[in-house]
Amino acid sequence: MIYTILTIIIALFIIVIVAKPFGHYLAIVFDYETVSFKKTIYPVERIIYRLSGIKQNTQTWKQYALAFILTNGFMMILIYLIFRLQDILPFNPNNLKALEPTLAYHTAVSFITNTNQQHYSGENNLSYFSQMAGVIFAMFAAPASALSISFAFMRGLSGKAFGNFFVDFVRAITRVLLPIAFIMGFVFVFLGAPETLGPSVIAHTIEGAKQEIARGPIGAFLSIKELGNNGGGFFGANSAHPFENPNGISNFIQIILMFLLPTSLPFTYGKIIGKKKQGKTLFIAMLMMFLIILGITLVSEYQGNPDINSLLSQNTHGSMEGKEVRIGIGQSAFYSVVTSATETGAVNNMHDTLTPIGGMMVLCNLLLNTVFGGVGAGFINIMMYAIIAVFLSGLMVGRTPEFLGKKIEGKEMKLIAVTLLMQPFLILVFSAIALWFPMGYHSISNEGYHGISQIIYEYTSAAANNGSGFEGLKDQTPFWNITTSIVMYLGRYFSLITMLAVAGSLSTKKLVPESSGTFQTDTAIFGMILLGTIFIVGALTFFPTLVLGPVAEYLTL
């Protein structure tokens, strides 16, 4: 317990120290007027622009959104073809077959939407070529796309030009994702993660039997998996596998990498709009939510299952079900909260075996999608709640709501209302369909309240672009492949486009001079109102669902 608390304190201390300067670095990276990279990375980028025919013209928000959708759509088709043709493509030393159509479709949608939900086991289903040219490629492309959209959104709010999607996309990879991932790949290899294109090796056990040990280019996979808030595992066991998470140091580094981009974006936003204090307020509000959810999860996991505790007369170990002994309860719980708060989806333990309250806290992170959130997309969701908080505050005092000096009117609120309703619509409607049809509920491995949680978690994970799952669900079927693909696609692109439209609408409005009646959005009061808005508007939307699942399961223990 002491080791866990110490690790948490050190991790949060590092993040608090690093988030602000890294956030300011991101602002410089995507600033079209800066000359910081003219003699270093820009010459390489210029070659990319020439070879690909990219024109560095400024786009409107509609042109930016169209470029985003079409580019991602093309990459999704390309990745799908790689999965379908992997049996005839190179770097397949284990002679793995091509993925069946619905599984290939689900996997392509999953990775290009930054969800990384896996209905397959990587070491048994994907060749090295598929892992590298399909999965790792998407692990760069998906977060780069989200980062680009988030910066276009910030520019729109600040009244600047939206920029160019292709330029932002290239910069996100060359100036942010690739350099860090390249260095951290070597770090993970040094810590014990394999990096090879050789086939699986055969080990001879003491009993005389043969055991096939899978390996591959895992070190390079790991770095972008965590940095890009991707989360998909090279192995089916993800970061519970010793090759994908060799020791306590690698576990700690993975947590820091998951935190890095989501915690930095509030400071980036503050610098771009010229209100650094507002970015700090958003960061503190999200950190408070994170600490509350983490605290509840730790207490629940250390208390364990009361039924098992009564059989043992005392609780000396907490809930070790589904957790790696080498990682332990505290580090497993911490990792689970971080991966769900940052919408990464990587796991070092099975979320299906968390205690009811622990599982509910992880689920709440996904449902809210505001506790830091993933690369870009989560931050935009936080800004949606910030605008709602300003709008409600304006109504309470009888004043036209203003955000960053722009009036928030009917058009913006209609777009935000539709965006806000999309996630519960996707989660609740598709969960109801799965519970209604035998193809859905026959996949439940645990009857009763926990079975409901398995289904809700699957669709919530898809809608929030997280990707983790209550792994007891038997989801490798055409029904689950198709339905979760629909949820992932709509959950990803609908909210990003509508919120970009909100920024586009606000960018055309005249600035309203600040006065004594202007509601300040960089104070502790606004931070508390934001938290209240997230709780009232977001959390209570899903409260009945949580009652039917984890709450009911907890009360029946």
Can you tell me the distance from the alpha carbon of 4 to that of 425, in angstroms, rounded to the nearest whole number?
A: 38
Q: Specify the pLDDT at position 278.
A: 93
Distance CA 510, CA 407 (A): 8
Q: Which token pair is 427?
A: 């989660």
How far apart (Å, rounded) are the C-alpha atoms in residues 295 and 231? 23
Residue showing tokens 């699957």: 458
Q: Domain residue spans in the chain?
A: 2-203+213-273, 353-555
Q: Report residue 528 CA to chain centroid gap.
A: 24
Distance from C-alpha of 129 to C-alpha of 135, rounded to nearest angstrom: 9
Residue type, 338: V
Q: Quick one: residue 465, left, alpha or beta (phi over 0 = left, psi -120 to 50 = alpha)?
A: left
Which tokens is 304 given? 């364990």
For 457, the token pair is: 């978690």
Cβ partners under 8 Å of residue 69, min gap 6: 493, 497
> 264: which residues sit within 8 A by CB, 6+ positions away?
18, 19, 20, 22, 23, 26
> With bands split at pLDDT 50, 70 and 90, how would you rate the model's confidence at 520?
confident
pLDDT(301) > 60: yes
Separation in Å, CA 406 to CA 36, 387, 402, 412, 544: 32, 11, 5, 11, 36
Q: How many CB atoms lie within 10 A of CB 414?
A: 12
Q: What are phi and psi of 399, to 5 degrees?
A: -125, 145
Q: Mean pLDDT, to the nearest integer, of 343-351?
A: 91
The residue count for the chain: 557
**Residue 315 scores a pLDDT above 60:** no
- In the block, tokens 């001079």 appear at 513
Burial of 121 (0-12, 13-18, 19+ CB in 10 A): middle
| Nearest residue to 377 (alpha-carbon basis) of 73, 144, 537 | 144
pLDDT tens for 166-219 read 999 999 999 999 999 999 999 999 999 999 998 888 888 888 888 888 899 999
DSSP 511: P
Check residue 344 and give its pLDDT: 93
Q: How many Cβ atoms are within 10 Å of 53's Cβ, its own excluded?
A: 7
**Does position 486 have pLDDT exceeding 70, yes or no?**
yes
Alpha-carbon gap, residue 396 to 179, rounded angstroms: 48
Q: Give the number of other CB atoms < 10 A from CB of residue 132.
A: 18
* Structure confidence by residue, pLDDT tens digits, 422-481: 999 999 999 999 999 999 888 888 878 888 899 999 999 999 999 888 878 888 899 999
Closest CA to 339 of 259, 265, 282: 259
End-to-end CA distance of the chain: 25
Q: What confidence tier does 316 reach under pLDDT thresholds 50, 70, 90? A: low
pTM here is 0.93
- Phi first, then psi, for residue 397 (nearest 5°) are -105, 5
Residue showing tokens 């990745």: 79
Distance CA 334, CA 550 (A): 19
* pLDDT 10s digits, 507-516: 998 888 777 6
pLDDT digits (tens, 9 = 90+) for 365-379: 999 888 888 887 889
Handedness of CA 449, 450, 451, 453 (dihedral sign): positive
**Where are the alpha helices (H) located in 228-355, listed in sequence order?**
248-273, 276-303, 306-312, 328-341
Do 401 and 391 meet the contact criterion of CB atoms below 8 Å apart? yes
